[in-house]
Structure 1
């Protein structure tokens, strides 16, 4: 996508292509509270491969038998991406990676004085010697070697240069410059990468943490300085404040700098939601590219512009990322937004009638009420909403053989009951709810997102029917009940849409 540069002329030589090194399954899993099973890691790896990442850091096999099993399974999956395992400079770590039959090995060792003194208890010379031995050993076993100087940005610059020269001489195929504790600024990181680029003639990677909110900016600065590989995680998850975000870095490289990358951007949102689901780390609503509000508009002036010409308030199209534009209604909305929503539901009102609906919307917004599409439709139809679908009972029992879930609901006075069995209460609940809804509407539960906080479950359920998708949200101490309430809310919306379409 060519862009005219209004404010500057590019004065730097950009790389011809950038490799995406995804570390969601390794550094991302180090997010506090996150633990992925081998099955979850394999599913995420498949999604990353479909997305087009070049290297997948699958894990750290020496830490546990389960981790080794996961890395081995991903390596044997026959993916297009190169599969990488993390390793310290010790032979037992490298042997664990070899057993997994990975393509790459990411060897890391701390180089800053604070780490040498208090963590490794080694001299600089010991670190140099053992690092070179590790590189030579890994190369002798046919691995592509990628080496990180942990805490590089707090390492003595002269020693850092010596370290990188030594490991390249030992045979390292590429190097990484980690800002391990996120203390770099873009201009300082640019200078550091530039200086290392002058003396090291292998590809350079950048790995940035977000402690000061600069991970993405520093990553781009590293690329501007000549780095050819970027370390990123989906949704920016990772230790402490996280890592550079895959979706942000990818969008900036491809759309703002036109640097070729191998990713299919249309699949980013799907991968983001998969990682959110399995990690339980909810994406903040205003997160760039993948947040709920990234392509959502409320303000009247903005919505008018968007409806006339999307580029007025959208620098990038939501469809590029497999997303859709949303217009929401609130006290900042104007008549164009009201008309657009009613049009979507097959309703046409005169301008004075739209003004009346808008007036009531603003009054309700001033009272702090949440304005839904359903309410807009109801105001337009001049009728009060009557709850037609109610949850009567949900009963969950468990035994050594598994879980059973009974769901009872009422639709216009008719009782509908369904029961299902599974190994987990959540799965049993999903099946029972699906079975009961099938009595009313041929919709599928497409996605369920559950976030547990302070003994409260927040659940979002997506129902799909033909081309229509409805997301609804509910909260309860019982996650299965919250899921049922959200599913019923979504089903009622679909039923009302059908009612409106029928006239």
Structure 2
């Protein structure tokens, strides 16, 4: 299951400021996509209560949650927001406990136990406890914290690789260790500092985690977290999960990119403009015969289009195929001349030829 946190983690991206209308548009897009849970923001965030009120009636099966520090006043506030779940964050590494909170291990466990208990007493029916920096924490102590939270009434434990230092194998081992001892679901929050976030999230889900945090385009602190579009597409296409309406992904990515002021690389997985573009001769020729040879899924599944072009990497097969599409009567003996001309022109332009450029070039050679 996917917990989208674009409006919490994503909003922490340096320089990103989402206006209320934009937050509502993003939330509507996430509901249309069909994510299982949306973390709509954090306690104390301006306009949070209004946002929840605006979208509450249209949330359908998607659960709405909010992030809260492990403080009694914030937890009491969270209980009044009308969300389905409250995600309480608390660090479990010694460095964070000592330098951020001024607590030792015993003090942190006492605080955690009190806060989870108080959340239940405040009327919060679903308390998720996020163990921050768990990847650098003492494993046995982190397990003690998780078990205490479970005993005090927590409904979920969220494991945060806060600095993105884990590999997929490390993530599998971490999740398996917690799943072995817990009776409540495990979630993961994977940062992308070494480019591992999406792979770690997939590995976690395959190793027994029930939930994975994601954000659109992976935006968030520093290099962000696992990407909504990548996880949703993978689970829909490879996992056969029909609840995710992945045809809406690219529009959602464009919306978030504009709002956050980030560019989408043209080769960005799922969201990029050129991920189904092909110029290479062998690949282009194969695509014309059987697209699945060089495409992992039908572009139409995510609302994308296939495009092929001839250029400096094209050979006889690709150029012949392009001629056939253009319905140009062209003598076979002149094909080599056309291939050479296509390659030369493409290198001069520094890009593949447009359909009109190719047609004009073919006609010019044909006439001579």
- TM-score between the two structures when normalised by the length of structure 2: 0.91
Name the SS of the counterpart of 2:47 in structure 1. Answer: helix
State the match for 2:164 in structure 1: 182
Please, which runs of 5 or more residues in structure 1 have no aligned partner? 1-18, 384-503
Q: Distance in 2 between matches of 1:92 and 1:167?
A: 19
Pick the aligned partner of 2:330 from 340, 351, 354. 351
Pick the aligned partner of 1:328 from 306, 309, 325. 309
| 1:42 positional shift | 0.6
Deviations 1:129-160 (A, max 9, x none): 22222222222313321110110111111110
| 8 Å Cα contact 2:159-2:189 kept in structure 1 | yes
Please, which runs of 5 or more residues in structure 2 have no aligned partner? none
Instruction: Go from structure 1 to structure 2 and tell me whether the alpha carbon gap of 1:106 and 1:343 turns closer, same or farther (over 3 Å shift).
Output: farther
Deviations 1:155-205 (A, max 9, x none): 111110110000011111111111010011111221111111111111111
Structure 1 vs Structure 2 CA RMSD: 2.2
| 8 Å Cα contact 2:285-2:321 kept in structure 1 | no
Name the SS of the counterpart of 1:99 in structure 2. Answer: coil
| 1:379 positional shift | 3.1
| 1:22 positional shift | 0.7
State the match for 2:29 in structure 1: 47
Task: Give the structure, 1 or 2, with the largest relative contact order (CA under 8 Å, sep 6 or more).
Answer: 2
State the match for 1:128 in structure 2: 109
State the match for 2:61 in structure 1: 80
Q: Distance in 2 between matches of 1:373 and 1:93?
A: 60
| 1:215 positional shift | 0.9
1:304 and 2:285 equivalent?
A: yes
| 8 Å Cα contact 2:85-2:124 kept in structure 1 | no
Q: Distance in 2 between matches of 1:138 and 1:357?
A: 73
Instruction: Go from structure 1 to structure 2 and tell me whether the alpha carbon gap of 1:97 and 1:341 turns closer, same or farther (over 3 Å shift).
Output: farther
| 8 Å Cα contact 2:282-2:318 kept in structure 1 | no
Q: Distance in 2 between matches of 1:131 and 1:378?
A: 72
Name the SS of the counterpart of 1:367 in structure 2. Answer: helix
1:219 and 2:198 equivalent?
A: no
Instruction: Go from structure 1 to structure 2 and tell me whether the alpha carbon gap of 1:202 and 1:114 turns closer, same or farther (over 3 Å shift).
Output: same
1:262 and 2:234 equivalent?
A: no
| 1:354 positional shift | 6.5
| 1:338 positional shift | 4.8
**Count of aligned residue pairs for this structure pair:** 361
Question: Is the strand fraction higher in 1 or 2?
Answer: 1
Name the SS of the counterpart of 2:79 in structure 1. Answer: helix
- TM-score between the two structures when normalised by the length of structure 1: 0.67
| 1:79 positional shift | 4.1
| 1:123 positional shift | 2.1
How does 1:40-439 map onto structure 2 within 5 Å? Answer: 40-62=22-44, 64-75=45-56, 77-140=58-121, 141-256=123-238, 258=239, 260=241, 262-334=243-315, 337-338=318-319, 347-352=326-331, 357-370=338-351, 371-380=353-362, 382=364
Q: Distance in 1 between matches of 2:80 and 2:300?
A: 42
Instruction: Go from structure 1 to structure 2 and tell me whether the alpha carbon gap of 1:324 and 1:202 turns closer, same or farther (over 3 Å shift).
Output: same
